[in-house]
Amino acid sequence: MAKLCIGIDLGGTFIKFGLLDGQRNPGRTFPLPTPVDRGAEGVIEQMVQGAEKLIRDEGIPRDQVMGVGIGSPGPINLSDGIIISMPNIPGMDDCPLRDRVSAGLNLPAVLENDANAAAYGEYVCGAGGNSGDMVLLTLGTGIGSGIILDGKILHGSHEIGGELGHMIVAPGGELCGCGQRGCLERHSSATYMAQYAARLIREEGRPSSLREVLDRKGGIDAADVNAARRAGDALAVEVWDRAVHYLAVACVNICRIFDPERIVLAGGLTKAGDDLMDPLREHFRQMHWTLSAPKTELLLSSLGNDAGVIGAAGVAWSAFGGR
């Protein structure tokens, strides 16, 4: 039996478990709730027990497990495997999560940023096709990213690289939570796009069919904006187009910088499918230089929410002797 690796994807609501076999094929994945109210100790216990359950349920001989990869929200000290801060789980700040999970399972472990893990998952088993350079953008509450060059995750000299959501695409634009103005995340994430629509309606009194949704639900999301856009609402058309425009600026810049084989899009906003991809490809084509035709493909994620846990297993595979 070929050796395999376990992946654990730590999220604020669920912890996901999965594995990659020796041929780097992903197996079944399953979630357990994140016991946030039990703090860091409870969360670590859940991570260990979930991994033990996976080993047991799949009938894996323990000596066949090469190691465990953990994907976690940042900021992280990657070299030392330490969570720097995690506001939503009490006691997790400065936690040596990698070594705690490793000790609990008696297996080698590696810690990776969740967006990087998802990118690696898409690269190895998903839309990245396991060849050529790839950039992943996850369009959700914020915009996360992972950059795979020559099959390796780009971390930067101080482990704070690969933050494409905080590229400035609109100098002097809206103030981002990071302290910069005009970040991609602030103009094109699912959450901020919907917030922008709500602001135009509430603060600037712009007419829109979304006003009724806003009054009824107390808020709107990107799916509401897209539904209104499809029904011809002018404000929704404008807001959607603005978010896609800045996303296309980022994609053109990614081509000029990395010239990757593929840019893969994931996260909540990609539920819109072609309603996102068609206008994105059109903006991209129009904005792209004319020196050569676009060579980079823009693609939807193929692993969806499993990218993170599969990628975490892949990171372990790569760290502990695979390939």
Tell me which residues touch its own copies (CB under 8 A). Answer: 75, 132-133, 147, 149, 154-164, 166-171, 176, 178-181, 245-246, 249, 252-253, 255-261, 287-292, 295-296
Question: Least distance in Å: CB of 34 to its own copies?
Answer: 24
Q: What are phi and psi of 265, to 5 degrees?
A: -110, 135
Q: Where are the alpha helices (DSSP H) in 258-302?
A: 274-287
**Cα 122 from Cα 128, distance rounded (Å):** 5
Question: Least distance in Å: CB of 84 to its own copies?
Answer: 10
**Cα 32 from Cα 246, distance rounded (Å):** 36
Question: Least distance in Å: CB of 156 to its own copies?
Answer: 3
Quote the strand ranges of the chain, DSSP E. 4-10, 14-20, 30-33, 65-72, 76-77, 82-83, 109-113, 134-139, 143-149, 152-153, 262-266, 297-300
Question: Least distance in Å: CB of 195 to its own copies?
Answer: 20
Query: For residues 211 and 245, which CB has a smaller minimum distance to its own copies in the complex?
Result: 245
Give CA 111 to chain center in angstroms.
Answer: 15
Q: What type of residue is 178? A: C
Query: For residues 25 and 85, which CB has a smaller minimum distance to its own copies in the complex?
Result: 85
Query: For residues 147 and 227, which CB has a smaller minimum distance to its own copies in the complex?
Result: 147
Count CB atoms within 10 A of the CB of residue 247: 28
Query: For residues 225 and 248, which CB has a smaller minimum distance to its own copies in the complex?
Result: 248
Note whether 3 and 22 are within 8 A (CB): yes
Question: Least distance in Å: CB of 143 to its own copies?
Answer: 11
Question: Least distance in Å: CB of 218 to its own copies?
Answer: 30
**Cα 59 from Cα 254, distance rounded (Å):** 43
Question: Least distance in Å: CB of 139 to its own copies?
Answer: 17
Give me 252's structure tokens. 């053109």
Burial, 199: exposed, middle or buried (Cβ in 10 Å; 0-12, 13-18, 19+)?
Answer: middle
